[in-house]
Amino acid sequence: MPELASVNGVVTPIEEATVPIEDRGYQFGDAVYEVIASYGGRLLAFEAHLQRLTRSMKALAFAPMPLDSLRGAVVGLFERAEIARAAVYLQVSRGVAPRNHAYGAAMDPQIVITVREVVEKPAELRERGAAVITVPDERWQRCDIKTVQLVPNAMAKQKALDAGAFDAIFISREGEVREGTSSNLFAVRDGCLITHPLTPNILPGITRRLVLDICRRERLTVEERIFLEDDLFAADEVFLCGTITEVLPVAAVDGQPIGDGGAGAITKRLYDGLLALAVGTG
C-alpha cells in the first residue's frame, strides 16, 4: 500500500515528488485544491469535489481543464495506491512561468495528486468532543474559493494546539461565527441546527452539504443564517464537519463547556448518517 504522488502524470513515492520552483502555486499561492476521502476503497462525493474544484479554477480565471482527464488522473493514482481508507489531495496551480505577479496569457495548469492513508481520530475525541478556541477572522474576502493560501488557517490551528485545544473557530469583527480552520461549524439549540449561510466568508463544504442532506432526510430543522459567538456559548450541541474531520462534537469553546460537554444526540445521529453514506449503506 504505497503512498503515492503524481506531478502532471509522473508517479513517484510522495517523498520523491518535486515541482518546479517557478510553479505559481509555490510562489504566489496561485493554486486551488481538494481533499477527498475514501472509505473501503470508495471515494466519497468525488463528483461534488470535482465540481467545486472547477468552480475555484473559474473564480481565479485559470485555463479551463477537461474534467475527464482530472477524474481519470485521480482515479488512476487512487487505484494504484490501493489504500482503502485514503485522503486524496488534488492541487491545480495556474502553471509555471518566470516570476511575475501578473499572469498574462493562459498557461498549462500543474496538477499534483497525492494519496495517503487517513490517520483516524482517537475514539475518545469522537466521544468526548473537542475543545476549540475562537480567533479573529483575518482571512481575505473570498474564503469560498478553495485556494492553497492557508497561512491564516495554519496559524490559527497552531494557536489552538499551543493552547491545548483541537481547533480554532474564525469569528468576524462583528462577532459572527464562521467556520473552523479546515471544517464548517453547526450549532444545535432546542433541536434546531444553525450554520453560517453560503457567502464569500466561508468555504461551501462538501460535508456541510452532505450533513444538510441528512438533516432534510431525517426532518431535522436547519437554519442557514448568521449567528453570533454568544449563540455558540448558549448552544446545546456544537460540531465541526469536514472531509477529514467528518462530524466531530465540540465539547468546549474558549474553555466554556457546550451543553453537557460530550457528543450530543443530534451530533451522534449525523455522524452515523455520514458514515452510512460513506460506506454506501445510507
With contacts defined by CB under 6 A, how many residues of the chain interact with ligand PLP?
12
Q: Is residue 114 a contact point for ligand PLP (CB under 6 A)?
A: no
- Out of 93, 147, 184, 195, the only residue in the binding site for ligand PLP (CB under 6 A) is 184
Between CA 276 and CA 271 the distance in angstroms is 9
* Shortest reach from residue 241's CB to ligand PLP, in Å: 6
Query: Is 157 a residue of the active site?
Result: no
Q: Is residue 182 a contact point for ligand PLP (CB under 6 A)?
A: yes
Q: Is residue 134 a contact point for ligand PLP (CB under 6 A)?
A: no
- Out of 95, 129, 242, 249, the only residue in the binding site for ligand PLP (CB under 6 A) is 242
* Shortest reach from residue 192's CB to ligand PLP, in Å: 21
* Shortest reach from residue 247's CB to ligand PLP, in Å: 10
Cβ-in-10-Å burial (0-12, 13-18, 19+) of 148 comes to middle
Set of cell numbers at residue 241: 464537519
Contacts of 257 (CB under 8 A, 6+ apart): 251
- Out of 38, 147, 183, 267, the only residue in the binding site for ligand PLP (CB under 6 A) is 183
Q: Is residue 91 a contact point for ligand PLP (CB under 6 A)?
A: no
Q: Is residue 147 a contact point for ligand PLP (CB under 6 A)?
A: no
* Shortest reach from residue 268's CB to ligand PLP, in Å: 19
- Out of 87, 193, 203, 266, the only residue in the binding site for ligand PLP (CB under 6 A) is 203
Phi/psi for 172 (5° steps) reads -75, 170
Contacts of 189 (CB under 8 A, 6+ apart): 231, 234, 235, 236
Q: Which stretch binds ligand PLP (CB under 6 A): 4-12, 117-125, 181-189, 247-255?
A: 181-189
Q: How many other C-beta atoms are found inside a 10 Å radius of the C-beta of residue 117?
A: 13
Residues 171, 181 contacting (CB under 8 angstroms): no
The CB-side HSE value for 116 (13 A sphere, CA atoms) comes to: 12
Residues 275, 120 contacting (CB under 8 angstroms): no
Q: Cα-atom radius of gyration of the chain, to the nearest Å?
A: 19
Q: Catalytic pick from 146, 157, 159, 268?
A: 146
Which residues are annotated as catalytic?
146
Binding residues vs ligand PLP (CB under 6 A):
35, 179, 182-184, 203, 205-208, 242-243
